[in-house]
A and B are shown apart, each in its own frame.
Chain A
Amino acid sequence: MRNIFLFIRRYFNFLSFLALQALALSFLFRYNKFHEAAFASVANEVTGRINGQYNTVEYYFKLKKANENLVKENLALRDLLRSNYQQPDSSKRLVVDSIRVDSLKPFQKYIYRDAKVVGSFVTTQTNFITIHRGSSQGIQPDMAVIGPGGVVGRVVNTSPNFSTVMTMISRVFKVDGKLKNTGERGSISWDGQNPRLVQMRNIPKSVPVQKGDSVLTSELSSIFPPNILIGTVDSVLNDPSTNFYNLRLKTATNFSTVQFVYVVQNRLLEEQANLEKATRNTNE
């Protein structure tokens, strides 16, 4: 027993070094798996507040850009107004059944909540933004986040008033996308190089792809609503060893200037996940 104490006293520094390393590494590797760590909620609240203070300055300089983006989005939404469209044939008349309209209400699948971006980083390999909405306002992990331009990311952690969002420009983020013209689906991820460019894989070479084509979220993505802009094709990389193109997309969102985002809740997500899980269980 005495020898053990002597051993501990002799190597106390080394042992405490090992203990602190183990603690740090457990934070690191547990975090990557579960997206949560010790005191994450408290730390989130504190860093969120400091980021918010910084953002009051930063926001002033980005107001112009934020305004432009919001006006652009408003324009796109106004284009969709029904009064803009005229029926080509006068024998056809658009009839709106008031009962039908009312009964549509409970079937709203996606709920949107607005949120202000208070902190963002684009310099690391896993980039996060902090938004000023948290669990008290109904934000939960795994909700989709979209901006005025398009896809932003996914909520990974919440505290009462702030949430952290893993952006599309993170090495571990993946989203299912499709080409707008042909509907070909592919997986989109980031290679860690340029914060404005993401990569799309598995597009067959038979599909005509041109620079400037839009890429939208597909119907298969369970957290993102379908047909949200992810980006536009910047260049087509031809890999001669496979039958697939690698596309480089310019992201629809500029992550260093985004100031307002929408958090999207899929109300049927749980039902869908349960059904898929049950199916998997019966197949096993």
Chain B
Amino acid sequence: MSDFLKHSMRALLFLLVQVFVLHKIPPLHQFVVPYIYFLFIIWLPFNTGRTWLMIIAFIYGLALDYFLMWPGIHAAACVMIAYLRPFLVNLLIRQEGAEQSYGAPSINSMGWAPYSVLVVVLTLVHHTYLVFLEWLSFGSFWYFLGKVGASTGVSLLLILVTEMLFYRKEKFRTNM
């Protein structure tokens, strides 16, 4: 399967799960909103150009926005994490050249600790920015803190489950 097809299907699947599963389950509390769709952006290949990464993230976020009928909010958060991802990857990568030899960020290609740092930081940034934009329209400071904390916790749990269920074996790319 070509990379493009794989990632498009992944995007579609994440979007449908986010809209028709995670946003359909009755909320436990107003603070607990599970998000997993942005894992698609974290899983994009290393060699995606930085501008392209942001454009893909923007379109992807906007697609979710139109489902939830609040255009702009998720797109803004997605562009934010797409912009920050290359910096973090450069900081965290284990050895020289892992970017070239592996396809995409995963436990395999980056190692447990750096990959989890990447995921935790990007999740936190995504939720902070998202709830901050919500907070500008309404809500209080405690709403902001509580929602960022609780949603990040739930999302990380979901990501952990996803990583365990769908173990991605990243191919080691040789020069061929």
Given contacts A47-B69, A124-B33, A256-B26, 4 further A-B contacts (CB under 8 A): A21-B76, A46-B66, A54-B20, A171-B139
Q: Which of B37-45, B48-56, B94-102, B105-113 contacts A (4 or more CB under 8 A)?
A: B48-56
Of A20, A38, A40, A256, which is within 8 A of B54 by CB?
A20
Neighbouring A residues of B72 by C-beta, 8 Å: 24-29, 31, 37
**In the complex, which residue of chain A has the Cβ closest to the Cβ of B49?**
A13
B residues in contact with A21, CB < 8 Å? 76, 79-80
- B70-81 interface bits toward A, Cβ cutoff 8 Å, 1 = contact, 0 = none: 111101100110
How far is the CB of A112 from the nearest CB of chain B, in Å?
24
CA A86 – CA B66 in complex, angstroms?
54
* Cβ contact within 8 Å between B33 and A28: no
The complex places the Cα of A29 from the Cα of B73 at a distance, in Å, of 9
Contacts of A31 in B (CB 8 A): 70-72
Size range of the chain A interface in the assembly: 35 or more
Report yes or no: A164 in contact with B80, Cβ–Cβ below 8 A.
no
Shortest A51–chain B CB gap in Å is: 8
CB atoms of B23 and A20 under 8 A apart? no
- Report how many residues on chain B are interfacial, defined by Cβ distance under 8 Å: 37
**Which stretch of B3-11, B115-123, B130-138, B161-169 is in the interface?**
B130-138
- Chain B, 1-37, CB within 8 A of any chain A CB: 20, 22-27, 29-30, 33
Contact A124 B67 (CB under 8 A): no
Is A192's CB under 8 angstroms from B30's CB? yes
Q: Which residues of B contact A (CB under 8 A)?
A: 20, 22-27, 29-30, 33, 50-51, 54-55, 58, 61-62, 65-73, 75-76, 79-80, 83, 133-134, 137-139, 143
Q: Are B54 and A28 closer than 8 Å at their CB atoms?
A: no
> How many cross-chain pairs have Cβ atoms below 8 Å apart between A and B?
106
> Contacts A13-B50, A43-B66, A192-B30; is A20 near B79 (CB within 8 Å)?
yes
Residues of B within 8 A of A46 (CB): 66
Q: How far is the CA of A206 from the CA of B68 in the complex (A)?
A: 42
Contacts of B73 in A (CB 8 A): 24, 28
A137 proximal to B (CB < 8 A): no
Q: List 23 A-B contacts (CB under 8 A).
A: A17-B54, A24-B61, A24-B72, A27-B75, A29-B72, A32-B137, A37-B71, A40-B66, A54-B20, A121-B23, A121-B24, A123-B23, A123-B26, A125-B30, A125-B134, A126-B69, A128-B68, A130-B69, A157-B69, A172-B138, A192-B143, A193-B30, A194-B30
Q: Which residues of A contact B51 (CB under 8 A)?
A: 12-13, 16
Instruction: Tell me if A70 counts as interface (CB < 8 A to partner B).
Output: no
Answer whether residue A122 sits at the interface, using C-beta atoms and an 8 A cutoff. Answer: yes
Given contacts A12-B51, A13-B83, A16-B54, contact A28 B71 (CB under 8 A): yes
Chain B residues lying within 8 Å of A47, measured Cβ to Cβ, are 66-67, 69
Contacts of A148 in B (CB 8 A): none
